[in-house]
Protein backbone atom coordinates (compact mmCIF):
# COMPACT_ATOMS: atom_id res chain seq x y z
CA UNK A 1 0.00 0.00 0.00
CA UNK A 2 1.35 3.41 -0.91
CA UNK A 3 1.91 5.90 1.86
CA UNK A 4 -0.64 8.26 0.36
CA UNK A 5 -3.37 5.61 0.11
CA UNK A 6 -2.69 4.54 3.68
CA UNK A 7 -2.99 8.13 4.87
CA UNK A 8 -6.28 8.53 2.98
CA UNK A 9 -7.70 5.33 4.50
CA UNK A 10 -6.60 6.37 7.99
CA UNK A 11 -8.24 9.75 7.54
CA UNK A 12 -11.44 8.11 6.31
CA UNK A 13 -11.51 5.87 9.36
CA UNK A 14 -10.93 8.81 11.66
CA UNK A 15 -13.83 10.73 10.08
CA UNK A 16 -16.10 7.69 10.29
CA UNK A 17 -15.40 7.14 13.98
CA UNK A 18 -15.73 10.83 14.75
CA UNK A 19 -19.13 10.81 13.08
CA UNK A 20 -20.24 8.02 15.40
CA UNK A 21 -19.28 9.87 18.56
CA UNK A 22 -22.17 11.56 20.36
CA UNK A 23 -22.41 15.21 19.33
CA UNK A 24 -21.08 17.42 22.11
CA UNK A 25 -23.63 19.96 23.29
CA UNK A 26 -22.87 23.68 23.19
CA UNK A 27 -19.84 23.02 21.04
CA UNK A 28 -20.15 26.49 19.56
CA UNK A 29 -16.91 28.20 18.81
CA UNK A 30 -16.76 31.95 18.44
CA UNK A 31 -14.44 34.15 16.47
CA UNK A 32 -12.30 36.36 18.69
CA UNK A 33 -13.93 39.30 16.90
CA UNK A 34 -16.85 39.86 14.52
CA UNK A 35 -16.20 42.73 12.14
CA UNK A 36 -19.09 45.16 11.61
CA UNK A 37 -18.82 47.37 8.53
CA UNK A 38 -20.27 50.89 8.34
CA UNK A 39 -19.55 53.91 6.18
CA UNK A 40 -19.91 56.50 8.93
CA UNK A 41 -18.64 55.95 12.48
CA UNK A 42 -19.43 57.80 15.69
CA UNK A 43 -20.29 60.65 16.23
CA UNK A 44 -22.51 60.23 13.15
CA UNK A 45 -25.83 58.63 14.18
CA UNK A 46 -25.05 55.71 11.82
CA UNK A 47 -21.88 54.80 13.72
CA UNK A 48 -23.46 55.44 17.10
CA UNK A 49 -26.30 52.99 16.41
CA UNK A 50 -23.89 50.35 15.08
CA UNK A 51 -21.89 50.70 18.30
CA UNK A 52 -25.12 50.35 20.29
CA UNK A 53 -25.77 47.01 18.56
CA UNK A 54 -22.24 45.81 19.39
CA UNK A 55 -22.58 46.94 23.02
CA UNK A 56 -25.96 45.26 23.50
CA UNK A 57 -24.66 42.01 22.03
CA UNK A 58 -21.53 41.97 24.17
CA UNK A 59 -23.56 42.67 27.29
CA UNK A 60 -26.27 40.07 26.70
CA UNK A 61 -23.90 37.37 25.50
CA UNK A 62 -21.69 37.93 28.55
CA UNK A 63 -18.84 38.78 26.22
CA UNK A 64 -19.11 35.59 24.13
CA UNK A 65 -19.88 37.58 20.97
CA UNK A 66 -17.40 40.38 20.47
CA UNK A 67 -18.40 42.78 17.68
CA UNK A 68 -16.15 45.60 16.53
CA UNK A 69 -17.31 48.46 14.30
CA UNK A 70 -15.07 49.33 11.33
CA UNK A 71 -16.20 52.68 9.88
CA UNK A 72 -15.18 54.30 6.61
CA UNK A 73 -15.99 51.11 4.65
CA UNK A 74 -12.37 50.30 5.49
CA UNK A 75 -13.02 46.54 5.30
CA UNK A 76 -13.56 47.06 1.55
CA UNK A 77 -10.82 49.63 1.03
CA UNK A 78 -13.26 52.52 1.31
CA UNK A 79 -15.41 51.32 -1.58
CA UNK A 80 -18.79 51.28 0.10
CA UNK A 81 -20.54 49.80 -2.93
CA UNK A 82 -18.53 46.57 -2.45
CA UNK A 83 -19.75 46.01 1.10
CA UNK A 84 -22.63 43.73 0.20
CA UNK A 85 -20.44 41.48 -1.93
CA UNK A 86 -17.88 41.20 0.86
CA UNK A 87 -20.66 40.18 3.25
CA UNK A 88 -21.93 37.52 0.88
CA UNK A 89 -18.46 36.06 0.76
CA UNK A 90 -18.08 36.15 4.53
CA UNK A 91 -15.16 38.60 4.29
CA UNK A 92 -17.28 40.97 6.38
CA UNK A 93 -19.13 39.31 9.27
CA UNK A 94 -21.78 41.93 9.84
CA UNK A 95 -22.80 45.37 8.67
CA UNK A 96 -25.06 48.27 9.28
CA UNK A 97 -25.37 49.07 5.60
CA UNK A 98 -27.14 51.63 3.47
CA UNK A 99 -29.73 50.72 0.86
CA UNK A 100 -27.92 53.10 -1.50
CA UNK A 101 -24.61 51.29 -1.14
CA UNK A 102 -26.16 47.83 -1.50
CA UNK A 103 -28.34 48.73 -4.48
CA UNK A 104 -25.70 47.81 -7.09
CA UNK A 105 -26.01 44.17 -5.90
CA UNK A 106 -29.65 44.30 -4.77
CA UNK A 107 -31.35 46.37 -7.49
CA UNK A 108 -34.71 46.26 -5.69
CA UNK A 109 -33.20 48.49 -2.97
CA UNK A 110 -33.32 51.30 -5.54
CA UNK A 111 -36.91 51.58 -4.37
CA UNK A 112 -35.82 54.05 -1.69
CA UNK A 113 -33.97 56.17 -4.26
CA UNK A 114 -37.05 56.77 -6.42
CA UNK A 115 -37.29 60.55 -6.32
CA UNK A 116 -40.05 61.87 -4.07
CA UNK A 117 -41.59 58.47 -3.29
CA UNK A 118 -41.47 59.12 0.47
CA UNK A 119 -42.75 62.49 1.72
CA UNK A 120 -42.20 61.87 5.45
CA UNK A 121 -41.04 59.41 8.13
CA UNK A 122 -44.43 57.71 8.24
CA UNK A 123 -43.97 56.87 4.56
CA UNK A 124 -40.60 55.22 5.24
CA UNK A 125 -42.10 53.19 8.07
CA UNK A 126 -45.11 52.19 5.97
CA UNK A 127 -42.73 50.74 3.38
CA UNK A 128 -40.15 49.09 5.62
CA UNK A 129 -42.76 47.82 8.09
CA UNK A 130 -45.09 46.45 5.45
CA UNK A 131 -45.28 44.08 2.54
CA UNK A 132 -42.58 45.86 0.48
CA UNK A 133 -40.16 45.74 3.41
CA UNK A 134 -40.78 42.01 3.86
CA UNK A 135 -40.20 41.40 0.15
CA UNK A 136 -36.90 43.28 0.32
CA UNK A 137 -35.72 41.27 3.33
CA UNK A 138 -36.63 38.06 1.49
CA UNK A 139 -34.59 39.17 -1.52
CA UNK A 140 -31.57 40.04 0.64
CA UNK A 141 -32.00 36.75 2.51
CA UNK A 142 -31.79 34.87 -0.78
CA UNK A 143 -28.36 36.41 -1.40
CA UNK A 144 -26.40 34.98 1.56
CA UNK A 145 -27.02 37.95 3.82
CA UNK A 146 -29.41 37.77 6.79
CA UNK A 147 -31.20 41.10 7.32
CA UNK A 148 -32.33 41.65 10.91
CA UNK A 149 -33.61 45.19 11.33
CA UNK A 150 -34.13 48.56 9.65
CA UNK A 151 -32.35 51.72 10.78
CA UNK A 152 -32.02 55.12 9.15
CA UNK A 153 -29.46 57.48 7.69
CA UNK A 154 -32.11 60.10 6.92
CA UNK A 155 -33.63 62.31 4.24
CA UNK A 156 -31.02 63.55 1.81
CA UNK A 157 -30.74 67.28 1.23
CA UNK A 158 -28.80 69.04 -1.49
CA UNK A 159 -25.84 71.33 -0.95
CA UNK A 160 -23.46 73.12 -3.31
CA UNK A 161 -20.77 75.77 -3.37
CA UNK A 162 -22.01 77.83 -6.31
CA UNK A 163 -25.52 79.20 -5.86
CA UNK A 164 -28.92 78.93 -4.28
CA UNK A 165 -30.89 76.09 -5.86
CA UNK A 166 -34.62 76.67 -5.85
CA UNK A 167 -35.58 75.34 -9.29
CA UNK A 168 -34.24 72.59 -11.57
CA UNK A 169 -32.82 75.39 -13.79
CA UNK A 170 -30.59 76.45 -10.88
CA UNK A 171 -28.94 73.01 -10.93
CA UNK A 172 -27.89 73.34 -14.54
CA UNK A 173 -24.26 72.41 -15.08
CA UNK A 174 -23.46 71.86 -11.38
CA UNK A 175 -21.14 68.92 -10.72
CA UNK A 176 -22.86 66.83 -8.07
CA UNK A 177 -21.24 63.92 -6.27
CA UNK A 178 -23.52 60.88 -5.91
CA UNK A 179 -23.03 57.25 -4.89
CA UNK A 180 -24.88 53.99 -5.41
CA UNK A 181 -26.61 52.97 -8.58
CA UNK A 182 -27.01 54.74 -11.95
CA UNK A 183 -30.47 55.82 -10.77
CA UNK A 184 -28.76 58.72 -8.99
CA UNK A 185 -26.91 59.73 -12.16
CA UNK A 186 -30.15 59.66 -14.13
CA UNK A 187 -32.03 61.72 -11.54
CA UNK A 188 -29.43 64.48 -11.54
CA UNK A 189 -29.00 64.36 -15.30
CA UNK A 190 -32.77 64.83 -15.67
CA UNK A 191 -32.40 67.94 -13.51
CA UNK A 192 -29.68 69.35 -15.76
CA UNK A 193 -26.77 68.72 -13.37
CA UNK A 194 -23.53 66.80 -14.06
CA UNK A 195 -23.55 63.92 -11.59
CA UNK A 196 -20.43 61.93 -10.80
CA UNK A 197 -20.13 58.74 -8.77
CA UNK A 198 -17.61 58.49 -5.95
CA UNK A 199 -17.23 57.02 -2.49
CA UNK A 200 -17.70 59.09 0.64
CA UNK A 201 -13.95 58.87 1.24
CA UNK A 202 -13.28 60.53 -2.12
CA UNK A 203 -16.18 62.96 -1.85
CA UNK A 204 -14.72 65.12 0.90
CA UNK A 205 -11.42 65.94 -0.86
CA UNK A 206 -13.35 66.43 -4.13
CA UNK A 207 -15.59 68.98 -2.42
CA UNK A 208 -12.72 70.79 -0.78
CA UNK A 209 -10.69 71.13 -4.00
CA UNK A 210 -13.77 72.14 -5.96
CA UNK A 211 -13.48 69.10 -8.24
CA UNK A 212 -17.21 68.78 -7.56
CA UNK A 213 -19.62 71.57 -6.69
CA UNK A 214 -22.16 69.76 -4.58
CA UNK A 215 -23.48 66.66 -2.88
CA UNK A 216 -26.57 65.24 -1.20
CA UNK A 217 -26.66 63.77 2.32
CA UNK A 218 -28.73 63.96 5.51
CA UNK A 219 -28.31 67.13 7.56
CA UNK A 220 -26.75 65.12 10.40
CA UNK A 221 -24.00 64.14 7.96
CA UNK A 222 -23.68 67.68 6.57
CA UNK A 223 -23.20 69.04 10.09
CA UNK A 224 -20.95 66.33 11.57
CA UNK A 225 -18.74 66.32 8.47
CA UNK A 226 -18.65 70.15 8.57
CA UNK A 227 -19.44 70.43 4.90
CA UNK A 228 -19.82 74.19 5.31
CA UNK A 229 -16.02 74.28 5.71
CA UNK A 230 -15.56 72.77 2.24
CA UNK A 231 -17.55 75.50 0.56
CA UNK A 232 -21.04 73.97 0.79
CA UNK A 233 -22.77 77.27 1.53
CA UNK A 234 -26.05 76.70 -0.32
CA UNK A 235 -28.36 74.11 1.18
CA UNK A 236 -31.68 73.14 -0.38
CA UNK A 237 -34.18 71.22 1.74
CA UNK A 238 -35.99 69.08 -0.79
CA UNK A 239 -36.10 65.64 0.90
CA UNK A 240 -36.06 63.90 -2.48
CA UNK A 241 -35.03 60.49 -1.09
CA UNK A 242 -34.39 58.90 2.29
CA UNK A 243 -31.91 56.16 3.02
CA UNK A 244 -32.84 53.38 5.44
CA UNK A 245 -30.00 51.36 6.97
CA UNK A 246 -30.07 47.58 7.36
CA UNK A 247 -28.57 45.66 10.29
CA UNK A 248 -27.37 42.37 8.85
CA UNK A 249 -25.16 39.32 9.32
CA UNK A 250 -23.31 37.39 6.61
CA UNK A 251 -25.11 34.07 6.07
CA UNK A 252 -22.00 31.86 6.44
CA UNK A 253 -21.34 33.58 9.77
CA UNK A 254 -25.00 33.49 10.84
CA UNK A 255 -25.04 29.71 10.36
CA UNK A 256 -22.29 29.28 12.94
CA UNK A 257 -24.50 30.71 15.71
CA UNK A 258 -26.90 28.67 17.86
CA UNK A 259 -30.61 29.44 17.62
CA UNK A 260 -30.30 31.19 20.96
CA UNK A 261 -27.47 33.45 19.77
CA UNK A 262 -29.36 34.16 16.54
CA UNK A 263 -32.32 35.32 18.62
CA UNK A 264 -30.03 37.54 20.66
CA UNK A 265 -28.50 39.07 17.53
CA UNK A 266 -31.92 39.74 16.03
CA UNK A 267 -33.44 41.27 19.16
CA UNK A 268 -30.47 43.55 19.74
CA UNK A 269 -30.45 44.61 16.07
CA UNK A 270 -34.14 45.56 16.37
CA UNK A 271 -33.37 47.64 19.46
CA UNK A 272 -30.38 49.33 17.85
CA UNK A 273 -32.48 49.89 14.69
CA UNK A 274 -35.15 51.67 16.71
CA UNK A 275 -32.41 53.75 18.30
CA UNK A 276 -30.99 54.53 14.84
CA UNK A 277 -34.37 55.80 13.62
CA UNK A 278 -34.78 57.82 16.79
CA UNK A 279 -31.38 59.48 16.28
CA UNK A 280 -32.07 60.16 12.61
CA UNK A 281 -35.42 61.75 13.36
CA UNK A 282 -34.85 63.72 16.53
CA UNK A 283 -31.26 64.87 16.30
CA UNK A 284 -29.98 67.17 13.61
CA UNK A 285 -32.89 67.25 11.17
CA UNK A 286 -34.67 69.55 8.76
CA UNK A 287 -37.69 69.65 11.06
CA UNK A 288 -35.67 71.07 13.96
CA UNK A 289 -35.66 74.90 13.83
CA UNK A 290 -32.58 75.07 16.10
CA UNK A 291 -30.61 72.92 13.65
CA UNK A 292 -31.50 75.19 10.74
CA UNK A 293 -30.64 78.29 12.75
CA UNK A 294 -27.28 76.82 13.72
CA UNK A 295 -26.51 76.01 10.09
CA UNK A 296 -27.50 79.50 8.99
CA UNK A 297 -25.25 80.93 11.69
CA UNK A 298 -22.34 79.28 9.83
CA UNK A 299 -23.02 81.55 6.88
CA UNK A 300 -25.00 78.95 4.94
CA UNK A 301 -28.14 79.86 3.00
CA UNK A 302 -30.86 77.35 3.86
CA UNK A 303 -33.48 77.15 1.13
CA UNK A 304 -36.90 75.85 2.13
CA UNK A 305 -39.03 74.97 -0.88
CA UNK A 306 -42.72 75.71 -1.21
CA UNK A 307 -44.83 72.70 -2.23
CA UNK A 308 -45.04 74.13 -5.77
CA UNK A 309 -41.25 74.52 -5.96
CA UNK A 310 -40.77 70.97 -4.74
CA UNK A 311 -43.24 69.69 -7.31
CA UNK A 312 -41.15 71.20 -10.10
CA UNK A 313 -38.28 68.89 -9.07
CA UNK A 314 -40.67 65.96 -8.86
CA UNK A 315 -42.08 66.67 -12.32
CA UNK A 316 -38.60 66.99 -13.81
CA UNK A 317 -37.62 63.53 -12.48
CA UNK A 318 -40.89 61.74 -13.27
CA UNK A 319 -39.58 59.94 -16.36
CA UNK A 320 -36.66 58.60 -14.32
CA UNK A 321 -39.09 57.39 -11.66
CA UNK A 322 -41.22 55.58 -14.22
CA UNK A 323 -38.27 53.97 -15.96
CA UNK A 324 -36.79 52.72 -12.67
CA UNK A 325 -40.14 51.56 -11.37
CA UNK A 326 -40.15 49.02 -14.18
CA UNK A 327 -36.53 48.07 -13.49
CA UNK A 328 -37.03 47.62 -9.77
CA UNK A 329 -40.20 45.63 -10.39
CA UNK A 330 -43.60 47.28 -10.71
CA UNK A 331 -45.32 44.97 -8.15
CA UNK A 332 -42.77 45.89 -5.46
CA UNK A 333 -43.06 49.61 -6.21
CA UNK A 334 -46.86 49.31 -6.32
CA UNK A 335 -46.78 47.76 -2.84
CA UNK A 336 -44.62 50.64 -1.61
CA UNK A 337 -46.81 53.31 -3.23
CA UNK A 338 -49.91 51.72 -1.71
CA UNK A 339 -48.28 51.66 1.72
CA UNK A 340 -47.36 55.34 1.40
CA UNK A 341 -50.88 56.29 0.32
CA UNK A 342 -52.41 54.38 3.25
CA UNK A 343 -49.98 55.63 5.90
CA UNK A 344 -51.31 57.05 9.14
**Among 65, 96, 100, 284, which residue sits at the site for ligand X2X (rule: CB under 6 A)?**
100
21-40 positions binding ligand X2X, by CB under 6 A: 39-40
Using the contact rule CB under 6 A, the part of the chain among 10-18, 94-102, 249-257, 327-335 near ligand X2X is 94-102
236-255 positions binding ligand X2X, by CB under 6 A: 243
Task: Please state, in angstroms and rounded to a whole number, the distance separating the CA atoms of residues 34 and 85.
Answer: 17
Q: Which is nearer to ligand X2X, 79 or 309 (CB)?
A: 79
Q: How many residues bind ligand X2X (CB under 6 A)?
A: 12
In the bound complex, what is the minimum distance in angstroms from residue 325's beta carbon to ligand X2X?
21
In the bound complex, what is the minimum distance in angstroms from residue 151's beta carbon to ligand X2X?
12
Q: Does 179 bind ligand X2X (CB under 6 A)?
A: yes
316 closest CA partner among 215, 110, 170, 123: 170
Q: How far apart are the first and last CA of the chain?
A: 77
Q: Which is nearer to ligand X2X, 149 or 264 (CB)?
A: 149
Q: b/e for 78-107, b at 16 or more Cβ within 10 A?
A: ebbbbbbbbbbeebbbbbbbbbbbbbbbbb
Task: Please state, in angstroms and rounded to a whole number, the distance separating the CA atoms of residues 344 and 340.
Answer: 9
Q: Which is nearer to ligand X2X, 103 or 310 (CB)?
A: 103
Q: Which is nearer to ligand X2X, 243 or 286 (CB)?
A: 243
Name the burial class of residue 342, with classes exposed (0-12), middle (13-18) and buried (19+) by CB atoms within 10 angstroms of its CB.
exposed
Applying CB under 6 A, which residues contact ligand X2X?
A: 39-40, 80, 98, 100-101, 153, 179, 200, 217, 221, 243
Amino acid sequence: MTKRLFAALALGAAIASAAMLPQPTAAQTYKPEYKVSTVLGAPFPWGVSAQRWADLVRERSQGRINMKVYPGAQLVGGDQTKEFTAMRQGVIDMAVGSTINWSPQVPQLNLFALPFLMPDHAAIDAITGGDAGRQLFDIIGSKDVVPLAWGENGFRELSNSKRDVRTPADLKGLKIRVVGSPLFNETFTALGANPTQMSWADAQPALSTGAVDGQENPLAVYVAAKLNTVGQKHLTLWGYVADPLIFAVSKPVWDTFSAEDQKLLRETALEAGTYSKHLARTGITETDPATLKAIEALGVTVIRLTPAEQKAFQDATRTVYDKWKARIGAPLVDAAEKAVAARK
